[in-house]
Amino acid sequence: MNHAFKKRRLRIGALTLALAGLFALALMRLAMLVLLDGPRLASLAHEEHTAAMQLAAVRGAIVDRDGQPLALSAETRSIYARPRKLLETTTASARARLARALAMTPAALEAKLEKPAPFVWLARHLQPERARVAEELGFESVGAVNEYARFYPESNLAAAVVGLAGTDGQGLSGVELRYDRLVRGAPVELRFYHDALGHPILDSPLELKNAQPGARLELTIDSSIQSAAENYLADQVTKSGAARGAAVVLDPFTGEVLALANVNGASTQRPDRLHDTAIQDAFEPGSTMKGILGAIALQDRAIDPNRQIYCENGEWNLAGRTIHDDSRHGWLDLGGIIEVSSNIGAAKIALTLGADRFYNGLNAFGIGRRSGIDLPGEAAGLIRAPSRWRPIELADHGFGQGVAVTPIQLATAYAAIANGGLVMRPYVVAAAYDPAGNEIMRHTPQALRRAVSPEVAHQMNLLLRNVVNGPDGTGRLAQVADFTVAGKTGTAQMVNPATGGYYQTRLVASFVGFLPADDPRLVILVVLYDVSHGHFGGIYAAPVFSQIASAALQRLEVAPAKLPTGYDTASLLPFDGAASPVSADRAPAETLLDDGSSGPPSVDTAPEFNRTATGVAPDFRGESLRGAFAIARAHRVGIETSGGGYVIAQNPPPGAAVGDTPVQLTLSDNGAAAPTRSASSARHAHPSRRKHAVRLNLRSRSRR
């Protein structure tokens, strides 16, 4: 082996080693790129050559209990652009034509295109005809996709309950938010590839996927009752000058919400889909608390219905403060305290109960805790721990001061009295169905707890009737023709948040009740917020209750008990049997009418009316047909009727001799046309119908 060969072999070996080293370095670098930097580089490459847009699915319809749509989705077109490419390939004048097609200013379009993003929306949810104008301009860097926009075919009916869906199809309030995961369906993110010049390559299989439509929701809301509640409430908000109002209509035995109305006053006429006053705003309930107080006191045996409580003749000093009644009262039992709405009587009952027992009772009725209604943002109200109640505060709580409730809480509490003592969970969604129509969810009635026994609930049912039917009842304007109503008025001063005290001239007026009292079908609450002094619950909220109740009963086809039907003109011959007098010792429960049906309890022990006098026409004016029949039987006179509704005229007139001649009665559905009856005509009326013969007492009442 010569020297030259050795030298050449050394060079080849050195070169081999060098190449091997370089190859090893390349392998190491490749391993680093793959193992360490690979995911980051792949992501950069993917982002460089792909773009994405999310397409919302069709939101499911929201319908009322009868299938009437309250929220639907309509197909629209949305226009997008690739800003950099559009700016590079078009002139300012061409882009101005695009702006006009989209009803935009050129400056607004340029501002969108200057954003540092590979993709921007130029316009969303356009009508297809309008979007077609922009598409026909033929810009390569401008595209369009189908989207679905939410609209509400019944305008603002039940707006706060249904809620609002945003531009991207997400629920923002109401049922739209609470059930968003069911209603919105499964959206699709559309991803497409583009080349180095930005041209889209729209052949990805991802583009072919369809979004899955959302579920259809069936509400418990009845559109007819909801519409009546909103209309009557809106009228009273306008007349009373209230800042806003709320109304709740419940089925007391199931917890189904048939109507949940929210109305803003003149200063905020626009309906609010983002705020639900009925579940999100708390107020001091005032005297509506007395019905709950009475139930708690009876349940805990702190008092009995016949116990007499001295009401201090309208003024009582306690711990340096004076509690007032609007009129002077001496000894009253529980029924009398509730009927005349005595604050002093309620305060003494609360003190007899004590803080702990009263608090536990309120808690059992759901006061101070969320009702569990399936709507977002429910407030819990306000009730402090009983250990912090001073005697004066305990007394104040007895007539609804210092405690805050939401309308849905108060309605649910009175529903427990109506249904026999059970607190039911209120709900607004009955069921949900998938796109194929298969039921995927259903709510059933849920009893949360027992507040009082059935016996106590029945006793309170009877006592609350006197508020509407008694001669001194504060809720007489809540009467509904041919139905017995049980309920309670409330008027409370509003809290001044700046001082922590109370406004002297700003009130919350309310009425809550249920009917028919002997077989409750509806619980209705009406609240008017921020009304001026003198606007009491019995005068302003009670009539709205009556209007809503009348419409709801007609809608549900609830017939009055034992009401004659199927007539246009009816004739009644004189009744030969004399009615037995009502004695004071059988007044606590119910008084039997002459036809065997039950009526409201006797409200006083005044001398008996002359019910055996014949030949003299009693005063039928203002009576319903049922009331006219009862008076005719009591006075043993014949009547002939024509029309329907209330008696607006009679021949011969009241007090005239009739002999054997029937009295001709003309009835009209226009209750406003019925004449006012004089106090002197009361002596001719049947005892069970005296509520029509007593002139309404509209004098000022505090916290009624």
Domains of the chain: 52-219 (3.90.1310.10), 223-556 (3.40.710.10), 569-692 (no CATH)
pLDDT of residue 570: 36
Lowest mean pLDDT among 348-362, 452-466, 515-529, 532-546: 532-546
Q: Is the per-residue pLDDT at 611 higher than 50?
A: no
Lowest mean pLDDT among 193-197, 283-287, 361-365, 598-602: 598-602
Lowest mean pLDDT among 273-282, 523-532, 568-577, 611-620: 568-577
Q: Is the per-residue pLDDT at 562 higher than 70?
A: no
Facing residues of 510 across strands? 490, 527
3-state secondary structure of 507: strand
Q: Is the per-residue pLDDT at 412 higher than 90?
A: yes
Q: Is the per-residue pLDDT at 573 higher than 70?
A: no
- Asked whether the beta carbons of 537 and 287 are under 8 A apart, the reply is yes
Q: How confident is the model at residue 269 (pLDDT cuts 50, 70, 90)?
A: low
Average the pLDDT over 365-382 and give the result.
95
Q: How confident is the model at residue 223 (pLDDT cuts 50, 70, 90)?
A: very high
Strand locations in 544-662 (E): 569-572, 591-592, 598-599, 639-642, 646-651
Question: What average pLDDT does the structure give for the chain?
Answer: 80
Helices 343-353, 391-398: axis angle to 10 degrees equals: 120
3-state secondary structure of 422: strand
Q: Is the per-residue pLDDT at 478 higher than 50?
A: yes
Task: Give the amino acid at 286.
Answer: G
Lowest mean pLDDT among 138-147, 176-185, 271-280: 138-147
Strand locations in 533-583 (E): 569-572
Q: 243 or 608: which carries more pLDDT confidence? A: 243
The model's pTM: 0.69
Q: CA 352, CA 56: separation in Å to the nearest integer?
A: 61
Q: CA 134, CA 688: separation in Å to the nearest integer?
A: 75
Q: Is the per-residue pLDDT at 158 higher than 70?
A: yes
Work out the widest C-alpha separation in the chain, in whole angstroms: 162
Write down the residue that tokens 């009546």 correspond to.
228
At 147, which helix (H) or strand (E)?
A: strand 142-151
Helices 391-398, 289-299: axis angle to 10 degrees equals: 110
Q: 482 or 686: which carries more pLDDT confidence? A: 482
Q: 505 or 117: which carries more pLDDT confidence? A: 505
- Condensed to tens digits (0 to 9), the pLDDT of residues 26-78 reads 888 777 777 777 677 666 665 665 655 566 678 899 999 999 999 998 877 88
Strand locations in 23-115 (E): 50-55, 62-63, 69-81
Picking from 46, 115, 41, the residue whose alpha carbon sits closest to that of residue 81 is: 115
pLDDT of residue 121: 82
Q: Is the per-residue pLDDT at 285 higher than 90?
A: yes
3-state secondary structure of 177: helix
How much of the chain exceeds pLDDT 70, in percent? 78
Average the pLDDT over 80-94 and give the result.
80
